[in-house]
Structure 1
Amino acid sequence: MGFNFALEVRNISKRFKDQDALKDISFNADPGSISGFVGHNGSGKTVLFKCICGFYSVSNGEIYIGEKKVGIGKEMPGNIAFTIEEPAFLGDYSGRKNLEFLYELRHKKDSDHIKKIMEKVNLDYYSKKRVSKYSLGMKQRLAIAQVLMEDEPILIMDEPMNGLDREGVKDIRELILEEKRKGKIILLASHNSGDIEYLCDEVYELENGKVIGRR
């Protein structure tokens, strides 16, 4: 699998009333790369990801996925699967049922595909346990399954290791690298420096909505 378009963020800013959440941020991400974003809470990572996903319009600048511009008055960008902040699932249903509901919004029913994805993140496809009874780590695995099942060329993952034990972190790191090898563009935010150093090709440090470092 390969993809032949890049993600381009060109001098974007985002302002909420009298507060600048993002200030003149630019970067490119190519297929088969992982870009890491680090910074304290409130540094702008989540706002940046939401702008790329089309949830927020930018106040200045431009975002392109290939030749398609992301922004106000336009369709939500395709080609992106994401987990941003705490994922919202239907607590009265099993993990399997949640994934089936979400998958069938855009695809034909495919039980084999859902089963394979759940196995990848070490969740029991046959379990009837309600998501409301899931641990934080199980919910995180379910969120990652949701991202992987769409098989989009761009993955945006905000704190994907949150709530996972050491073995879980190891498993998910390897899954992310597997997606990179498929030629996907991956954007990753993590407070864990180990995740960033192990996974990322480039790292951007954000503070008060600005990129203050790159390595």
Structure 2
Amino acid sequence: MISIKNLNVEQKGKVILQHLTGQFEQGQVHGIVGLNGAGKTTFLNSLYGFIKPTAGEITYQEKKLSKKYISYLETSNYFYAGITGGEYLKLFCKATEKHKEWNKLFLLPLNNLIESYSTGMKKKLALMGVLLQNKPILLLDEPFNGLDLESMWVVKRIISDIKHTKTILLTSHILETLTDNCDFIHRLEHKKINQVYAKEDFKQFQELLYQELHEKTALQ
């Protein structure tokens, strides 16, 4: 379990997260939802260690959380120039052929240079690299961005298959991808997680969120 107590994060003198507290159990998929600027990516960056919190405690299995336990799929992915998809994946599984098993689902042209890939293909390649690290915590920041319907189904299937042995946190701007894939949704608002919804409450949460957005954007 990941446990967070009173997490504070500042960037360029601006408070992004304040007194954020939450728990994330193993064997479950936890969605992080919030409006643009709510701090979702900052939160994941803090867990991974890209950003150092100004206060608070983050533990995993009652010990300080270390990135050695985490695989992180960032929203934007970086690839070295002049290498093929297969060469990229071998950085994560040099002694195995595990990537061939994953590619039966993703159907990527692994002998081709990555710069010839579409946005969706690059997203799938990055996700394969994350999966091949086989770490107990997965942080997935917008994993469905750029994917077609078939690829979204594949990612959903993979998440469902592997979640029992991992702790998965994911963000998405598409609410339906969260309600379809998550066991819990954690609402990030006013610099903290102010509500957690279980699967049986997703419909209620969805109606509440849409009503709030309707009221916020209604013409005066």
What is the TM-score normalised by the length of structure 1? Answer: 0.86
Query: Corresponding residue for 2:82?
Result: 92
Aligned residue for 2:57, secondary structure, equals strand
Query: Corresponding residue for 1:42?
Result: 37
What is the TM-score normalised by the length of structure 2? Answer: 0.84
How far residue 27 of structure 1 moved from its aligned partner, in angstroms, is: 1.1
Residue 187 of structure 2 corresponds to residue 201 of structure 1:
no
What is the aligned counterpart of 2:101 among 116, 131, 147? 116
Query: Considering only CA atoms, is the larger Rg found in Structure 1 or Structure 2?
Result: 2
How far residue 194 of structure 1 moved from its aligned partner, in angstroms, is: 1.2
Query: Corresponding residue for 1:136?
Result: 119
- The aligned amino acid for 2:9 is K
**What percent identity do the matched residue pairs reach?**
30
1:124-180, CA deviations, whole angstroms, 9 ceiling, x for partnerless residues?
4xx422111111100110111011101111110000011001111111111111111
Q: Which has the higher helix share?
A: 2
What is the aligned counterpart of 1:191 among 168, 173, 176? 173
- The aligned amino acid for 2:189 is E
Contact 1:121–1:144 (Cα < 8 Å) also in 2 = no
Aligned residue for 1:137, secondary structure, equals helix
Alignment of 1:65-104 (within 5 A): 65-70=60-65, 76-101=66-91, 103=92
Query: Corresponding residue for 2:152?
Result: 169
CA distance in 2, matches of 1:68, 1:78: 13
Residue 158 of structure 2 corresponds to residue 158 of structure 1:
no
Contact 1:121–1:172 (Cα < 8 Å) also in 2 = no
Aligned residue for 1:198, secondary structure, equals helix
* CA RMSD across the alignment: 1.6
CA distance in 2, matches of 1:13, 1:118: 40
Contact 1:79–1:152 (Cα < 8 Å) also in 2 = yes
Aligned residue for 2:67, secondary structure, equals coil
Contact 1:7–1:30 (Cα < 8 Å) also in 2 = yes
How far residue 113 of structure 1 moved from its aligned partner, in angstroms, is: 1.4
1:58-102, CA deviations, whole angstroms, 9 ceiling, x for partnerless residues?
1111000113214xxxxx53111110121111132111111112x
Aligned residue for 2:42, secondary structure, equals helix
How far residue 208 of structure 1 moved from its aligned partner, in angstroms, is: 4.8
- The aligned amino acid for 1:120 is L
CA distance in 2, matches of 1:32, 1:178: 10
What are the ranges of 5 or more consecutive residues in structure 1 without an aligned counterpart?
1-5, 71-75
Moved over 6 A (4+): none
